[in-house]
């Protein structure tokens, strides 16, 4: 081969390689230009995320795998792209944190060969992407792939489960990413902790007719996506609470329309712990409201009879599942202005929700509640509801029931996700609110159906009757993890308070870990539009001062201010409803002194009523002091919290 021939040969080879490996690159910035992604469309779809030009994380091999062999995202070619700026104000139907939410981002849309595409959005406080498909026929999805590459020293907070049959009620774990064993299941939200204090919380939104997203460890600095597969057969045994969990699965995760959008994959960004508490991306990226008339949706406080009916005293009747006990609860709610009374598990046979206990006259109780201005709710096992949904809900409506608590789903496969929406829709038709227990994390349903007021998906107060996991350290994890995704039914404000050393595990008579001031502060720190009270009316009647104080606390808010925040250590918030502010602070098992700067107030005088740890709260957790004075925005309040302690104050205009 001559010299010229060799040069021509190598030139041809170079051109072929270059043309064959041509990658398309896009850069998308946040409105403030601090966050950005560098997106590459090549053999795989991937992007790197940066804050102020420093790498936060990398994603690789973003793809949808179809059963027919197509892989949407492999060797993808862009047909066209568009950029838009989104800048709007959202006024949420239920004001969980604030009355106004800013939705401001830059969005990139890519239409790719193969009748699919992706949306990418970059906000000042996060990054999100989602697939969409434009295929005529239905599609079967085998896998949605995402590889998340973290830095070597990144740590991760997460909940794990052995299987996808999960109640989502395991303790949070913290590990270096590379120490999470290969195959270990981590449900969402998952929080990446960078050494410089920056945080990335992984979540999802607009979870519709699709399984929930989980992440798996690899034993390296990489996490990979996984989803529960579609159920094939079910567990049908004598354990009625675990009835109809998944026994075997198909080989796919979703059978769905070929023309649709898929859930948003969210990477909420915070420069510090405090910024996590005000992040609204799960709500912003949720589907818009599907209910037209909403005047009937009423947030409120709930008294319920699970432990309560077992711990009534000072009455002339035998407490239990009966009409007399129900009326006692209703009188309590009426006295303190608590909106709901909930019949919990036991009011009917577990899988027969059409026939109340023989000692309970639902018609008589309903008439009494209406007379007293109290609304009734019923607990139901999910499968009992699924078998007879329309019949049961029609009967509940006839009884005057205003809401249901649905329990023990313990799954988030496509079939179960569809069940959640069916419950929300059918309850909305009958003007009923919903509380999901045994539930996966919030993923957008509550915006589409604002009658879904709260859900579980956490270790909450009931665990005090089983183990030590619901402690003040856990209370200082929840605001930075589970609560970022949406309201949670923690069940705060117990009157049975215990220090670390004297807490005892008593199943039917649980006591809370932490001081009285801590327990009351949780009402504000862990606020939910539907807030359930754990104790019996007898306990609250015996503690009238504390009960009076919590009876005035709202469950919806116009504004939130984060005053102090360190995950697992301490938290202090201010929440405003109208002209009144509530300030609350909690610590873990360490004593904590804290300064509360009141500069967020208006320029006027305020009456401050507050509950603080008493001088002996470190020995007797019920010890507290209720005090009052006048303050202005120029002042700073010095608080001193005992081990497991707290502080809560109400600030109302004094002029």
Kindly list the catalytic residues. 407, 462
| Residue among 381, 298, 368, 375 at smallest CA distance from 342 | 375
H/E segment holding residue 577: strand 570-577
Longest dimension (CA), the chain: 111
The contacts of residue 238 (CB under 8 Å, 6+ apart) are none
The contacts of residue 333 (CB under 8 Å, 6+ apart) are 303, 339, 340, 341, 372, 374
Give the C-alpha separation, 264 to 62, whole Å: 13
HSE-up of residue 28 (Cα within 13 Å, Cβ side): 28
SS3 content of the chain, % helix, strand, coil (to 5): 20, 40, 40
Give the C-alpha separation, 260 to 131, whole Å: 9
Give the C-alpha separation, 305 to 534, whole Å: 9
Task: Tell me if 157 sits within 8 A of 136, measured CB to CB.
Answer: no
Supply the angle between the helices 362-372 and 389-399 in degrees, to the nearest 10. 50
Give the C-alpha separation, 158 to 171, whole Å: 8
| Degrees, nearest 5: CA angle 200-202-205 | 135
Task: Tell me if 112 sits within 8 A of 106, measured CB to CB.
Answer: no
Q: How far, rounded to the nearest angstrom, does the alpha carbon of residue 305 sit from its chain's CA centroid?
A: 24
Beta partners for 577?
Answer: 580
3-state SS assignment for residue 573: strand
> What are φ and ψ of residue 544, in 5° steps?
-60, -35
């Amino acid at each position: 081969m001559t010299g010229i021939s060799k040069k021509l040969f190598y030139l041809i080879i170079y051109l072929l390689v270059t043309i064959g490996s041509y990658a398309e690159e896009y850069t998308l910035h946040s409105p403030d230009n601090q966050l950005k992604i560098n997106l590459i469309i090549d053999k795989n779809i991937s992007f790197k995320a940066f804050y102020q030009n420093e790498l936060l994380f990398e994603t690789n091999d973003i793809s949808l795998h179809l059963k027919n062999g197509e892989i949407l995202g492999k060797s993808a070619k862009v047909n066209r792209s568009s950029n838009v700026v989104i800048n709007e104000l959202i006024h949420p139907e239920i004001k969980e944190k604030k009355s106004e939410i800013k939705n401001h981002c830059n969005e990139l849309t890519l239409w790719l060969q193969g009748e699919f595409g992706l949306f990418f959005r970059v906000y000042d406080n996060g990054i999100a992407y989602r697939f969409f498909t434009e295929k005529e026929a239905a599609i079967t999805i085998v896998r949605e792939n995402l590889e998340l590459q973290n830095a070597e020293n990144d740590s991760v907070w997460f909940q794990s489960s052995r299987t996808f049959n999960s109640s989502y009620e395991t303790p949070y774990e913290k590990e270096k990413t590379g120490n999470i064993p290969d195959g270990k299941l981590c449900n969402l939200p998952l929080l990446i902790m960078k050494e410089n204090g920056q945080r990335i919380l992984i979540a999802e939104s607009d979870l519709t007719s699709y399984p929930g997203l989980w992440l798996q460890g690899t034993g390296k600095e990489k996490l990979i996506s996984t989803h529960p597969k579609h159920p094939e057969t079910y567990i049908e045994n004598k354990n009625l609470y675990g009835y109809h969990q998944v026994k075997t699965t198909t080989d796919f995760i979703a059978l769905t329309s070929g023309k649709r959008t898929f859930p948003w994959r969210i990477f909420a960004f915070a420069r510090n712990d405090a910024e996590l508490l005000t992040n609204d991306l799960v709500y912003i990226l949720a589907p818009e409201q599907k209910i037209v008339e909403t005047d009937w949706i009423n947030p409120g406080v709930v008294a319920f009879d699970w432990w309560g009916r077992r711990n009534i005293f000072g009455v002339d009747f035998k407490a239990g599942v009966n009409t007399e006990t129900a009326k006692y609860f209703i009188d309590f709610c009426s006295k303190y202005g608590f909106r709901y009374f909930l019949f919990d598990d036991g009011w009917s046979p577990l899988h027969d929700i059409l026939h109340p206990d023989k000692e309970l006259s639902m018609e008589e109780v309903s008439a009494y509640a209406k007379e007293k201005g109290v609304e009734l709710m019923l607990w139901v096992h999910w499968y009992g509801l699924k078998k007879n949904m329309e019949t049961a809900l029609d009967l509940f409506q006839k009884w005057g029931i205003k809401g249901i608590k649905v329990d023990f789903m313990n799954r988030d496969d496509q079939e179960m996700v569809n069940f959640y929406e069916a419950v929300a829709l059918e309850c909305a038709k009958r003007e009923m609110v919903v509380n999901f227990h045994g539930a996966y994390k919030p993923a957008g349903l509550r915006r589409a159906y604002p009658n879904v007021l709260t859900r579980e998906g956490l270790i909450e107060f009931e665990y005090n009757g089983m183990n030590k996991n619901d402690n003040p350290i856990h209370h200082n994890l929840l605001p930075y993890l589970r609560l970022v995704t949406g309201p949670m039914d923690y069940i705060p404000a117990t009157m049975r308070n215990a220090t670390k050393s004297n807490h005892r595990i008593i199943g039917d008579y649980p006591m809370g870990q932490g001081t009285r001031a801590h327990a009351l502060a949780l009402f504000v720190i862990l606020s939910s539009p539907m807030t359930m009270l754990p104790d019996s009316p007898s306990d609250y009647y015996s503690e009238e001062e504390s009960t009076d104080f919590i009876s005035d606390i709202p469950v919806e808010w116009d504004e939130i201010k984060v005053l102090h925040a360190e995950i697992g250590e301490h938290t202090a918030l201010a929440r405003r409803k109208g002209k009144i502010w509530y300030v609350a602070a909690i610590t873990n098992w360490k004593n904590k002194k804290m300064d509360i700067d009141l500069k967020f107030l208006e320029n006027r005088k305020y009456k401050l009523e507050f509950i603080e740890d008493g001088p002996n709260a470190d020995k007797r957790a019920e010890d507290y002091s209720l005090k009052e004075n006048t303050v202005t925005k120029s002042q700073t309040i010095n608080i001193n919290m005992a081990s497991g302690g707290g502080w809560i104050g109400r600030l109302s205009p004094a002029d």
